[in-house]
Amino acid sequence: MKHNFNNQNSLIQSGINLFYTNDGSVGLYNPEIDDIFHSVYGAREEAETKFIRPLNFSKNFSSKDKIRVLDICYGIGYNTKALLKRLIQANYKGKISIDILEYNKELVLLSPFINDTYFNKYPEISYILLYNLCTCLNDENFELNDYINNRSLRKFISPFYRSFNKKYKQVTYTRKPKIKQKAFLHNIYYHCISQRHKIPVKHFKFNKIKIKPYFDDARITVKALKVQYDIIFLDAFTPTKLPTLWSLQFFKELYRLINDDGMLVTYSNSAAVRHAMIDAGFCVGKVLDNTGRNSGTVAAKRIELIENKLSDYDIGLLETSAGIYYLDENLEKPAKKILDEHLNRKKHLNLKSSTQYKKDYLQIMEKNNNG
């Protein structure tokens, strides 16, 4: 399937392009970095298979009275939405707190309305996001009509909101903004939840879910955070394009922030990323897709939480040039400087390449099998 990343489908201020992925959900592309936020094969599918499935929620988290989550590089919220779906499916009765880190406020504000394919079966996910964003953001920051009804973006908005927002915009409100906001949320709840999905939300208490956004460089935010998290999602841009959130020092901060029985999950299977995690103190394993292929990384303080351990091959790869991790001593270097210094260290260390390592490893394995 060919995807269109041209500017006519971009968000008004940020220039980020939207496109439909193969599972029918909306994905994002950043032309400045030349990197996609989500797999073209399926943004929703990627979140559920690479970020939620490795948590083994029923075994590791369902019995907790409270779950605290850190979602780094929230984007339009697929990882948080996939987790909320899992909570609904599990009829989770505890409290949940989700801190979302995202530099682009426009994406966060758009996230409840985007056509993510969740709405038909789980409209309460959208409502939860709306309720929390309206609660923690100023009223004037949540006036979304200007770009929800923008012609180039309209096809990426959930069909329900396309029609609902049009009707809502036509109503003349003379009351105060806070009353207007409450009326908006009431109508969303009435139209998409109370009359259609009473059974799925019967025991799901919306007031037990708290979502708080942070709009800044994630490096600044994590240094300031003092709480401990049960789950950390790391969904930053590709390390080789934007290494700022993949350095040894950044993983040391995440190690500080994670509970003893918490888990960190990312889509990256980079040897450099895994090496940095290990040197930061984490036990590290891999995420496997349905075919058994390496499709991500999971980290924890306790080895018992790691279902798929790194193989001898994976561990050996860490000692090659591919395993040289990024450094950002004070968590403030520009991306280009991190990349330039990383390249210089590669040249200076002159380690075996990953390609040569793979050839040597296969030769040894073949020799052992023949012997």
Please give the order of strands across the beta sheet that includes 26-30: 17-20, 26-30, 35-36
Class of domain 7-215 (CATH, top level): alpha beta
More confident of the two residues 148 and 144: 148
Please give the order of strands across the beta sheet that includes 258-266: 209-214, 95-101, 66-72, 229-234, 258-266, 294-300, 283-288
253 CB-near residues (< 8 Å, 6+ apart): 219, 222, 223, 331
Longest dimension (CA), the chain: 85
pLDDT digits (tens, 9 = 90+) for 76-116: 999 999 999 999 899 898 999 999 999 988 888 889 888 88
Arithmetic mean of pLDDT, 226-244: 95
- DSSP symbol at 232: E
pLDDT digits (tens, 9 = 90+) for 30-80: 877 676 666 655 788 889 999 999 999 999 999 999 999 999 999 999 999
Query: What's the CA gap between 87 and 45, in Å, rounded?
Result: 17
**What's the chain's average pLDDT?**
84
Instruction: Give the long-range contacts of residues 359-367, CB within 8 A, separation 24 or more.
Output: 361/313, 361/316
**Alpha carbon 33 to chain centroid, angstroms:** 17
The ranges assigned to domains in the chain are: 7-215, 221-370
Query: What's the CA gap between 154 and 301, in Å, rounded?
Result: 44
Going by DSSP bridges, is the β-strand pair 66-72/95-101 parallel, antiparallel, or unpaired? Answer: parallel
Other beta carbons within 10 Å of 227: 10
pLDDT digits (tens, 9 = 90+) for 264-287: 999 999 999 999 999 999 999 999
Judge residue 363's burial from the number of C-beta atoms within 10 Å of its C-beta, 0-12 exposed, 13-18 middle, 19 or more buried.
exposed
> What are the DSSP calls for 174-185, one per residue?
-S-HHHHHHHHH
Q: What local confidence, expressed as pLDDT, does residue 130 receive?
A: 84
Query: What's the CA gap between 135 and 133, in Å, rounded?
Result: 5
Please list the residues that pair with 219 across neighbouring strands: none
Q: What local confidence, expressed as pLDDT, does residue 134 receive?
A: 76
Q: What local confidence, expressed as pLDDT, does residue 174 receive?
A: 40
pTM: 0.88
In 3-state terms, what secondary structure has residue 311? coil
Of all residues in the chain, the percent with pLDDT exceeding 90 is: 53
